[in-house]
Amino acid sequence: MKPPRIGLLHCGTFPALRTLEDPALTPYRVEGIYLPDADPLELAGFDVVLVGDRLHPGQRARFEPALRAALADAGKTVIVLGENTVEQWLPNLAYTFRPTVYWAWRTGTDNGTRLRLPDDPLWDYFTQRATDWHHHGLLHPPEGARSLVTMEEDGAEIGTIMFIDEVNQAARLLVTTMDPVYHHGSGFMPGATQLLYSLLRWATVAHVADARVNA
């Protein structure tokens, strides 16, 4: 089956450019979509759209209508990473600020991250190390979304760090407040590298599986 066409939205920062040059990404043929020069209509040609973490809000805003249009396409997967004020432009999504714990991945400190739904098919592609290093706040997804990584405080679950939604829009949507492009491109936090690679493999396999079902 034909592999998906994957596009990474970025604003030309060093971590994003270094990520795009990573030889390990070569099999996925990830294409950079440089927001200042790109036309939002270009997103229609991609099967998988990765919204890179820490995008310039003004540049991202130009693409938000096209991203919402992508969510209406059953043939697409949309992945939104890191700090992107998603509660302002993704429907039915709320956000709660939490301070970032930067070094728990080195010290072994329990930062409250909890992996959920152990039988979910997504866990065939992701390890605990890939999803437990740090994050930038908590999401509150719409009903029907599956929260895969959550945050616990004082024994109570208070929000989501990564979820997948396959019911509230036609496209497959994954949102996380982890920022793997930044940390992979910056060369630290090994879990970020694992998360980035796992996301690409998961999205590729899911696309091929969908194509077989619809063939």
Q: pLDDT tens across 56-107, in order?
A: 999 999 999 999 999 999 999 999 999 999 999 999 999 999 988 877 777 8
Asked if the structure places residue 140 within a domain, the reply is yes
Asked if the structure places residue 85 within a domain, the reply is yes
CA 47 – CA 164 distance, rounded (Å): 17
Asked if the structure places residue 1 within a domain, the reply is no
| For residue 209, pLDDT beyond 80 | yes
Mean pLDDT of 116-129: 96
Model pLDDT, residue 105? 76
Model pLDDT, residue 106? 79
Model pLDDT, residue 215? 65
Residue 63, domain CATH: 3.40.50.880
Model pLDDT, residue 108? 76
| For residue 197, pLDDT beyond 90 | yes
Are the CB atoms for 133 and 178 separated by under 8 Å? Answer: yes
Percent of the chain predicted with pLDDT > 70: 100
Structural domain boundaries, residue 99: 6-214
Mean pLDDT of 119-140: 95
DSSP conformation letters of the chain: -PPPPEEEEE---HHHHHHHT-GGGGGGTPEEEETTT--GGGGGG-SEEEE-TT--HHHHHHHHHHHHHHHT-TT-EEEE-SSS-GGGTSTT-EEE------SHHHH----SEEE--TTSGGGGT--HHHH-S--S-EEEPPTT-EEEEEEEETTEEEEEEEEEESSSSSSEEEEES--HHHHHHHT--HHHHHHHHHHHHHHHHHHHHHHHHH-
Model pLDDT, residue 104? 78
Residue 7, number of CB atoms within 10 A of its CB: 20
Higher pLDDT, 100 or 55: 55
Model pLDDT, residue 212? 75
| For residue 31, pLDDT beyond 70 | yes
Model pLDDT, residue 200? 98
Mean pLDDT of 200-206: 97
Asked if the structure places residue 183 within a domain, the reply is yes
Query: What is the token pair recorded at 161?
Result: 């760090």
Asked if the structure places residue 168 within a domain, the reply is yes
| For residue 126, pLDDT beyond 70 | yes
Residue 109, number of CB atoms within 10 A of its CB: 10
- Number of domains making up the chain: 1
At 132-175, the pLDDT tens digits run 999 999 999 999 999 999 999 999 999 999 999 999 999 999 99
Q: How many residues appear in the chain?
A: 215
Are the CB atoms for 101 and 134 separated by under 8 Å? Answer: yes
Rg (CA), the chain: 16
Percent of the chain predicted with pLDDT > 90: 86
